[in-house]
Amino acid sequence: MKYSKLLIPTLKETPSEAEAVSHILMLRGGYVRQLAAGLYVYMPLFLRVMKKINKIIRQEMDSIGAQEVSMPVLHPAEVWQKTGRWYDIKDEMFRLKDRTGRDMCLAMTHEEIMTWLASREIRSYRDLPQMWYQIQTKLRDEARPKSGILRTREFIMKDSYSFDADTDGLNKSYELHAEAYKRIYGRCGLKFYVVESDPGMMGGATAHEYMAPSAAGEDAAAICPACGYAANVELAESVSQSVELADTAFEDVFTPEKRTVEEVSAFLGLKAYNFIKTLVLVAKEGSVLALIRGDQELHEKKTERIIGDFRHARKDEIEGIVGVEAGFIGPVGHKIRIIADNTLKSGTYVSGANKKDYHVRGLKPGLHFAAGYYDLHMAHENDGCPLCGKPLTIEKVIEIGNIFKLGTKYSEALSAVYLDKDGVEKPIVMGSYGIGPARIAASAIEQNHDENGIIWPVSIAPFSVVILPLNVNDAASQQAAEDIYSSLAANSVEVLLDDRDERAGIKFKDADLIGIPLQVVIGSKGLKENVVEIKIRKSKESLKVAPERVLETVMDLIKN
């Protein structure tokens, strides 16, 4: 393609609304433009990237036997009502009525519709297993679109669904996806982790997420470099760092107007980890006390798994529940349920004395109070790995894909059943699997850029090579550029010719910014000595070769 014919509106300055590196570079490189919050126009260059990513995805999905379909993005409400998600999901679903007043919604995902199809077309165990996928638009009325293309209200997703006769079948389909996903991200040039994840509203049992480490990520993963343990911090377990706990006598101490862990620890000359924080929670079952070591935070998701939906007690409720105001609550002598973090099973601590202006020290779990012990704390950097005990690292990550074992939640709700060998009707066992192609692109930029711009992995670059004839007025340069262009194009190399009447500096800056992996630089002086340069964007290496050797050199370089 000729640069002069393409819409590549690069920007010298950074638009003020962008913060994430990938967002800035996509805007500056002319890859995307914003229509409204969470709505983006994909410009020609970006579409080329997306097509390459989608091609890789299709190849890998096809290779595990998945079949591509295409589903509507406008859905009748009934299907969603049958699974209950019409009611469970709130503002995040775009809803509308058609002209007859019938309730409709826009597709947030396609479990319902895929299962609807299965319910109509699958009758027998002989029809199973099946895997169906699509690369289709999803719409979600996000509370907070952000980070450019990373969280948008309309986006494309590769979503696939597996239909099996039993759990063994599901496990096989799940495994096929897990492996295909690794190949996809690997081919896209990404660094990524596979982490255990929380199935959340998908309502399944087992789930994994594929995470690309990046400062722009909204999620965090706990990673053990030693043994490979990897989990979303939403559920990551960890062994708290062990600390010095002084064994003192069990006694009240006067702590006037000292309420927070910070205040009391400063007052008593102790560390935060010497304390037990006592939190009052209000759950469906009633009030619950949650105990957590002073240097840690209560992990709300973990807590929810134990006591169900809950909220923190309001200030004005606390005294009614535990008989003392916030700041002086301790675990001793309450009748309500007490849950405590595993870390607190042993040791000697300070906590509230359940009377105003007093704390108690020398407090020993088991001796002075009883509690149910669970993993309740947020995993921290350098906590011990739950598997091997070595220190964990916490990394910010972008979720680029996920896989869920759904089970029969959707098939039962929508009567997607089959007859087994014995003629018994059974619900189909399902899995669902998603990939965000635009997030792959954004992650690739996050992981591959420098101060000058994007450095695309060759596999997903919009062009493999850009030819830069530096002097448009020099006929020899022009001719050489054209010749090289033709020879590359004839060999199916995706090549961009910067034929614009621009100064050398502008061409270099734009080529670097848009991130084409290889630059063929043609200068009139070099050409007189029968030399052009092949510059490698990533390493900044420059190879001087004769024009007639450009083709083979380039072919060689893009293979690696």
Partner RNA sequence: CGGGGCGUAGCGCAGUCUGGUUAGCGCACCUGCCUUGGGAGCAGGGGGCCGGAGGUUCGAAUCCUCUCGCCCCGACCA
Q: Name the site residues for RNA (rule: CB under 7 A).
A: 10-17, 19-20, 23, 28, 34, 36-38, 85, 89, 92, 108-109, 111, 138, 140, 142-147, 151, 157, 159, 200-202, 218-219, 300, 402, 434, 436, 452, 470-473, 503-506, 508-510, 512-513, 521-526, 533, 535, 542
How far apart are CB 387 and RNA at their closest, in Å? 25
Nearer to RNA, 17 or 548 (CB): 17
How far apart are CB 34 and RNA at their closest, in Å? 6
Nearer to RNA, 37 or 424 (CB): 37
Number of helices and strands in the chain (H, E): 15, 31
Q: What are phi and psi of 510, to 5 degrees?
A: -65, -40
How far apart are CB 487 and RNA at their closest, in Å? 19
The span from the CA of 449 to the CA of 457, in Å, is 10
H-type helices in 337-461, by residue range? 409-413, 437-447
CB 163 within 8 A of CB 126: no
Question: Which tokens hold the place of 118?
Answer: 């299965």
Nearer to RNA, 77 or 472 (CB): 472
How far apart are CB 16 and RNA at their closest, in Å? 3
How far apart are CB 316 and RNA at their closest, in Å? 18
CA torsion 240→243→246→247, rounded to 10°?
40
CB 349 within 8 A of CB 341: no
Nearer to RNA, 12 or 335 (CB): 12
AA letter at 204: G
Locus of tokens 């010719």: 497
Nearer to RNA, 385 or 413 (CB): 413
Residues 6+ apart with CB under 8 A from 307: 281, 283, 285, 288, 337, 339
Cα–Cα–Cα angle for 161, 164, 170, rounded to 5 degrees: 75
How far apart are CB 248 and RNA at their closest, in Å? 35
3-state secondary structure of 151: strand
The span from the CA of 137 to the CA of 159, in Å, is 10
Nearer to RNA, 107 or 371 (CB): 107
CB 160 within 8 A of CB 120: no
How far apart are CB 226 and RNA at their closest, in Å? 28
Nearer to RNA, 126 or 315 (CB): 315
